[in-house]
Amino acid sequence: MAIINRGDGSYGFVLETDGEDLVVRNVKTTWFGGDTDPDDSGETASGKRTKGNPDIMGCALPMDLSIAALANQRPRNYPPTSGSGLPKIPWFTKLIVSNEDESITQEIELIDIGPNKGAGSVAGFDLTPAAFVALGGKADFKRNSGDMVCHYRIPGGVQYLPPDWVEGT
């Protein structure tokens, strides 16, 4: 694998390539949305609702949308995720997510942007409650459970990188 981008370091993960895939390993993961998250309206940036959809297998990535124009995508500025090492990835892109020991793997859809780098969790990746539980976590807001370490792969994700992000080119 080749190291591609650390962003400004505010998220603490490294974006790598593996062939045509983008890979992030050992990233602190939290959960968001669903019917038990009082801090989430259930609305996502992609338009999919998490409230009332307990089985939705989705995730949020902290994409740096301030640089989306570099990847010929709709320019937008979203300061809470600026400085992330991730470019804009299209909504509904499928990710392969595994838990820390890679004993459980799930295909999960990108539906939102986040987590906010100012959040107290200091996480680099968010999952819906169903996805979090499927990977072995406990998504229970009342018991304040909700973080673990995961890895994810974006198959074919290299196509979304701005050309100047690749080190040594």
If one counts the domains in the chain, the total is 1
Rounded to whole angstroms, the Cα distance separating 102 from 88 reads 26
pLDDT, position 132: 92
Residue count of the chain = 169
Q: How sure is the predictor about 79, in pLDDT bands with cuts at 50, 70 and 90?
A: low
* Whether the Cβ atoms of residue 45 and residue 109 lie closer than 8 Å to each other: no
Q: How sure is the predictor about 7, in pLDDT bands with cuts at 50, 70 and 90?
A: confident
107-145 confidence digits (pLDDT tens): 999 999 888 877 766 788 999 989 999 999 886 656 556
44-77 confidence digits (pLDDT tens): 888 888 888 889 999 999 988 765 444 444 445 5
Exposure string of 18-33, with b = 16+ CB inside 10 Å and e = fewer, is eeebbbbbebbbbbbb
Domain of 34, in residue numbers: 2-165
Which two tokens mark 14?
């490294």
What's the CATH code of the domain at 16?
Answer: 2.40.40.10
Q: Which ranges constitute the DSSP H helices of the chain?
A: 129-134
